[in-house]
Amino acid sequence: MNNSINNAQFTIAAIQMNSQQNIDNNLADIKAAIIDARAQGAQLVVLPENCCSMGEQFATAEQFDVLSATLANYARTYGIYVLVGSLPCAYRPDGLVVPDGRLRQVSQLFGPDGKRVARYDKIHLFTATVADKQGRYNEAATFEPGTQTVVVPIEVNDAVYQLGMMVCFDLRFPALAQRLRQAGADVLSAPSAFTYLTGQAHWSLLLRARALDSQCMVIGAAQGGDHVYKNGSTRQTWGHTTITTYDGTIINSYDNSELNSQAVTEEQKNYEMVLATFDKAAQIQGRQKMPIFDCHRLA
């Protein structure tokens, strides 16, 4: 094993937010989280799904280019990879407008130079009946599913790591995680906004299962707490931002839905941060000891 793999350090920050429908306030929280992550040595910061606004999808989509430029500028200013969990977008990767008045749910990775290095359009759209205030969820009424998997290289300290991109409901589909691994992924991003009830039942289990399926680290950056919409309705998300290693071990987590609930601090933040260092050498050794992808026969 070469020294670059042995010596490389790749620190990841997963951010938990409680995004509301004030985009400026959410951007301020994102900026503060990025500054904090960089100060603590992170080279990649992963933001949750719907980081700039919970709800208001069409109004937010009208600002897709402006918001993307703002977030790209944060990445450039602070010299860090920023994975924008998701933003609604009115056009496909080829620039064509999404038909039928729908949108795409888009996750983007910006490099330390501010350039966008990847765009992933969420493939699996949340469809479920949940015993909460909303009851019925049907993302396909608003969004068109993406069609392309994405694995992108991240260069840190003269080493290269491969990031496979997912979003939220994608976690329920092991074939996607396996395909990303087959395409070379070392780490999987999973920015999410799980409902409180589905998150309580399945969030941790799904993160660990996808790590085991793919033998990749999985980064679960989440929305958590109550989100109040402009029409007066509310939505509750599970939070519990978690980073899981290739063997299904939870390496670090924030074990609450609400922000600022683990400890009383002098300065209350509008985000929580979970840090972990990716150990590529250990992951390679683990894969060698249990070479499941050498044994895989069905796909």
Marked catalytic residue, from 49, 56, 139, 272? 49
Cβ(208)–Cβ(250) below 8 Å? yes
| Closest C-alpha among 191, 64, 103 to residue 72 | 64
Nearby residues of 69 by Cβ (< 8 Å), 6 or more positions away: none
Can you read off the two tokens belonging to residue 156? 């840190």
Give the Cα separation of 152 and 171 in Å (integer): 18
- Residue 49 a catalytic site member: yes
Marked catalytic residue, from 52, 168, 272, 280? 168
Nearby residues of 108 by Cβ (< 8 Å), 6 or more positions away: 68, 71, 83, 84, 87, 116, 118, 119, 120
Give the Cα separation of 80 and 35 in Å (integer): 9
Burial 9-25, CB ≥16 within 10 A → b, else e: ebbbbbbbbbbbbebee
- Residue 122 a catalytic site member: yes
Marked catalytic residue, from 52, 56, 89, 122? 122
| CA 88 to mean position of chain CA atoms | 14
- Residue 168 a catalytic site member: yes
* E strand or H helix that includes residue 208: helix 196-214
Helix (H, G, I), strand (E, B), or coil: what is residue 97?
strand
Measured in residues, the chain has a length of 299
Give the Cα separation of 236 and 220 in Å (integer): 17
Helix (H, G, I), strand (E, B), or coil: what is residue 280?
helix
Which sequence positions are flagged as catalytic?
Answer: 49, 122, 168
